[in-house]
Amino acid sequence: MSATIALLEELVGFDTTSSRSNLALVERVADRLDGIGARVRLSHDEGRSKANILASFGPRAPGGVVLSGHTDTVPVDDQNWSSDPFRLSERDGKLHARGAADMKGFIAACLAAAEGFATADLARPIHIALSYDEEVGCLGVQGLIDELLAQEEKPELAIIGEPTLMRLGDRHRGFLGFRTRFEGRAAHSSDPSAGASAIYPAAEFAGFLRAVGHRAGAIDRTTVNLGRIEGGSAINIVPSACELLWEFRPVTPEDADETERLVASYLARATPPEIRQSTQRHVHVPPLSCAADEPALAVAALLGGIGPPFAMPFGTEAGFFQAAGISPVVCGPGSIAQAHQPDEWIERSQLAAADAFLARLAGFAARRQS
């Protein structure tokens, strides 16, 4: 485990907040994996300031296993940390740093296990797949999966190493994010009738979203949240524009379609004729729903994942793998309760559990099938 902790110390030293480039970390990890014989490929975003990493071990054959993680983290701004968030520090068996739990601990364990993957006589390939910009809408993972399917035989399984305390996560809601903009006409506030306020229809839409959100409230129900409203310029000007950022989390694709139709119907009938309205979807993370006989669940349990499977309150990239026909499970070290928090931490014991899990994976992939 000392190798995993040393790698975690190195990884958290890279500030890969989603608003920043991850290339320094990517280049370091790619060099390490290339040096031990992996087939390494990078796929960049349009600005070439960020990249995914795909590293493959073993034969070019079907039936492979993907170890999926994301390299980006959430910001530390406005958080009160007891120590430098980009330097690993240990207190009472807890390793503190931004990304320690979410999810550089899992990545460190994968990198430590990679030398074993490289030397094992693998019957089925193992792929380490690390994406960019998961925290701002899973922006990199689709390109990563496309690269995987274009360059390698289709894998059978994907293990997404988000922090679950090594429990088996088999379902979660999706996430759809939207930007709705109302545009009216500015005027002096001494005669509001000379203008068309964009804030009033925006406020009514906010109330509508609240009513829709009150239909549910648990992890097995679709929920709605309005995260931001911005509009107007001065107290004595009729506001010409107002923008809302909002999201909902569906349990199934059918829930997503129903909610989008409900919102579109409201906006079509309730937007005043003097107001222009536009709504754009800018984030789409599909839900995850695994069958009881999901192959990835059985394999992850064999490797040491803790059952019974449970519903996760947070979204992951697992639904993208499922949509690509790759059987997914979410299982990784650390607790989601520590994610995005000041003084984020992961326990040594969790990293040890991840190391044991990945060591068994090497044996599973090397086992010749009859």
In order, the DSSP letters of 207-267 are: HHHHHHHTT--STTS-EEEEEEEEE-S-TTEE-SEEEEEEEEE-SSHHHHHHHHHHHHHHH
Determine whether 133 is an active site residue.
Answer: no
- Residue 193: DSSP 8-state: G
| Single pTM value for the model | 0.90
Q: Within 10 A of 20 (CB to CB), how many other CB atoms are there?
A: 15
Determine whether 254 is an active site residue.
Answer: no
Cα 114 from Cα 31, distance rounded (Å): 13
Q: Which of 72, 247, 343, 344 is catalytic?
A: 72
Q: Walk me through the domains of the chain, giving residue ranges and CATH numbers.
A: 2-172+287-366 (3.40.630.10), 175-285 (3.30.70.360)
Q: Which of 15, 102, 133, 134 is catalytic?
A: 134
Cα 312 from Cα 97, distance rounded (Å): 23
pLDDT in tens, the chain (370 residues): 589 999 999 999 999 999 999 999 999 999 999 999 999 999 999 999 999 999 999 999 999 999 999 999 999 998 999 999 999 999 988 999 999 999 999 999 999 999 999 999 999 999 999 999 999 999 999 999 999 999 999 999 999 999 999 999 999 999 999 999 999 999 999 999 999 999 999 999 999 999 987 554 455 688 899 999 999 999 999 999 999 999 999 888 888 899 999 999 999 999 999 999 999 999 999 999 999 999 999 999 999 999 999 999 899 999 999 999 999 999 999 999 999 999 999 999 999 999 999 999 999 999 765 4
Joined tokens for residue 124: 């089925």
* H helix count then E strand count, the chain: 9, 18
Q: Which of 44, 144, 28, 161 is nearest to 107 (CA)?
A: 161
Helix (H, G, I), strand (E, B) or coil at 13: coil
